[in-house]
Amino acid sequence: MDNLQIGRHISGQFNEDLERVINNVMHMGGLVEKQVTDALAAVEQTDVELAKQVLSNDFQVNAYEVSIDDECTRIIAKRQPAAGDLRLIMAIVKTIADLERIGDEAEKIAKVALESFSSQQQDLLVNLDNLGRRVLEFLQASLDAFTRMDCETAIKIHQMDDKINREYEALMRQLMTYMMEDPRSIPQVMTVIWSARALERIGDRCQNICEYIIYFVKGKVVRHTTAEDMKNL
């Protein structure tokens, strides 16, 4: 909380408003992380019930997004925040939008567990799991950096998305080859492709969250900034 400089406001109620919103973002982030973790576990273990649980729990993620967005709108209207406070609110609004979309991607991943795969096709799921673990690590690091508004860490882990993209592209080449060699596998492989794409998009969302942290701390938009220039912020 100290990193967010909440304790400096004259209005104690303003402090409480900000703390409540930040705590809700943390809870939402924890829920989204669990959704992704459970979705990957459902695929790895072919756990249909766990996959269905991920699908049914998505409404909770959506409810958090709506609630936090409403609260941020109320704070802007009532408090008219400026400078760092306004950047914080904007970073929160953008972050919860990406978290909600990560929740949607977790649904797509969970649906793989509802498909039937032959023993020969299990290797596809192993490679999907490897990509999933990398993405989950990125998500956890991004949420941790957001909790502490740690700009230096955000800049470092921002580059993790490049590794995820390379792994995703390698997996896609493998999946395309598999379909050409065995056209009968196309329906199952397409399900894996959509899930791999969902994981790649989660990586993009995590990168966005890192950029929101940098925006709050540095007051700079770095969407189109090179990795080298970002290091020199």
| Domain map (residue ranges) of the chain | 2-231
What's the CA gap between 66 and 64, in Å, rounded? 6
pLDDT for 229 equals 66
User: 36-52 as b/e, with b when 16 or more CB fall inside 10 Å?
Assistant: bbbbbbbbbebbeebbe
What's the CA gap between 176 and 171, in Å, rounded? 9
CATH number of 2-231: 1.20.58.220
User: Which 8-state DSSP code applies to residue 35?
Assistant: H
The region of weakest confidence among 6-10, 41-45, 100-104, 151-155 is 6-10
Confidence at 6, pLDDT banded by 50, 70, 90: very low
pLDDT for 10 equals 46
What's the CA gap between 210 and 227, in Å, rounded? 12
Residue 219: C-alpha distances to residues 107, 146, 196 (Å):
34, 15, 34
The region of weakest confidence among 156-165, 212-221, 224-233 is 224-233
Model confidence pLDDT, tens digit, residues 56-101: 999 999 999 999 999 999 999 988 888 888 999 999 999 999 999 9
Average pLDDT over residues 42-57: 94
Average pLDDT over residues 194-204: 96
Model confidence pLDDT, tens digit, residues 171-193: 999 999 989 988 888 888 898 89
Cα Rg, the chain, nearest whole Å: 19
Helix ranges (H only) for the chain are 12-45, 48-79, 83-110, 122-148, 151-158, 160-181, 186-218, 227-231
Can you tell me whether residue 191 is helix, strand or coil? helix
Full-model pTM:
0.90
Higher per-residue confidence, 219 vs 7: 219
- Nearest to residue 89, comparing CAs of 16, 21, 12, 146? 21
